[in-house]
Chain A
């Protein structure tokens, strides 16, 4: 018995592979998202959205790739989802003094915390605007990964990781300088 009526292109019979990939990579996906987001609810959202994106991209794009590239693709989906959450003006699950906390913890007052959060959001926006491969490398670096780990996760050479990070630093600091000047006018 066929799953699809005759005359229609059969759906790829490999969604089970996509789910298997997700399960196998889950132990790596969750820390990647959590290290960026710092709270459970956002991490869960990022993981769910990543599964969804994987399913949508599977038949045409991902299913045919070699296993290493599939895994790297999935990592990229997850950190991309996390970055989208970090770029939101108001993160829905944050509670002042709890989740809003740890990245803004250097600032004592609430006002300063709010400002630190807003600055952080702009940093994530700037990171999101870096070219594709550089953006992925920098995002994993910002999650606290070492160069070798980034190379392994993204299936690229470590020298590529190095050069992306060094170039991104320059781009980001140029941009920060520009934004700062903009504020002064």
Chain B
């Protein structure tokens, strides 16, 4: 590597000097980024539930959830929920994997993948919400489905639910009633 003297004045340039030079060069060509795009993709991933929902429920809560929810199967390639649609349901994936994607100017952008134990669509529990992302089955997916009303009742009846389950308060707190 021939980047001349070390940036520190030490005798020999080392790998840190080399990285430093590279970083300085890159600083001159940072492209434009859009904070709204970053936030909307990050939110879509958050909406989709990043922490395994099912495993944080205790056995009684799980039994209560199963008693109310309906089991449904989605063939590969079908949508569990679609961006832009009114949100009416939440689902816990029991088997199989899904991709969470958003439409970016006609192009599909995958923002996350969700699989067994994950809760999807929880933002739909605020009234009148619209889906901010589509959830598409990658293979056959088996899921427990609740209506948003049932889910709201469920969280109300189980006050001991851990924080991760309460994350759906995020969008309501920041006043975004139009989102899923």
Contacts and interface: CB of A to CB of B under 8 A. Distances in A.
B50 interface: yes
Contacts of B170: 11, 15, 55
A73 interface: no
Interface string A6-30: 0110010101100100110010001
Contacts of A35: 23-24, 26-27, 30
Given A34-B30, A35-B26, A168-B16, A22 B166 contact: no
B158 to A, nearest CB: 10
Interface residues of A, number: 47
Given A19-B39, A52-B42, A106-B1, A172 B16 contact: yes
Contacts, number: 116
Interface stretch (B75-83, B92-100, B171-179): B171-179
A115 interface: no
A15 B23 contact: no
Contacts of A4: 166, 169
Contacts of B16: 138, 141-142, 165, 168-169, 172
Nearest to B51: A56
Given A8-B159, A141-B16, A102 B22 contact: yes
Contacts of A11: 163, 166, 169-170, 173
B159 A48 contact: no
B159 A142 contact: no
A30 B33 contact: yes
A142 B33 contact: no
A15 B174 CA distance: 7
B55 interface: no
Looking at A8, A23, A47, A144, the one whose CB has the most chain B CB atoms below 10 A away is A144
B26 A3 contact: no
A59 B33 contact: no
Interface string B123-160: 00000000000000000000000000000000110010
Given A11-B169, A16-B174, A30-B30, A142 B19 contact: yes
Contacts of A44: 33, 37-38, 41
Contacts of A114: none
B67 interface: no
Interface in A22-66: 22-23, 26, 30-31, 34-36, 38, 40, 43-44, 47-49, 51-52, 55-56, 59
Given A49-B42, A52-B45, A144-B23, 10 more contacts: A4-B166, A11-B169, A15-B174, A30-B30, A30-B33, A35-B23, A142-B20, A144-B27, A165-B8, A176-B15
6 contacts: A34-B30, A35-B27, A43-B33, A52-B46, A143-B19, A144-B20
Return the 3 tightest CB-CB contacts between A and B, nearest first: A144-B23, A144-B24, A142-B19
Interface of A: 3-5, 7-8, 11, 13, 15-16, 19, 22-23, 26, 30-31, 34-36, 38, 40, 43-44, 47-49, 51-52, 55-56, 59, 102-103, 106, 123, 138, 141-145, 165-166, 168-169, 172-173, 176
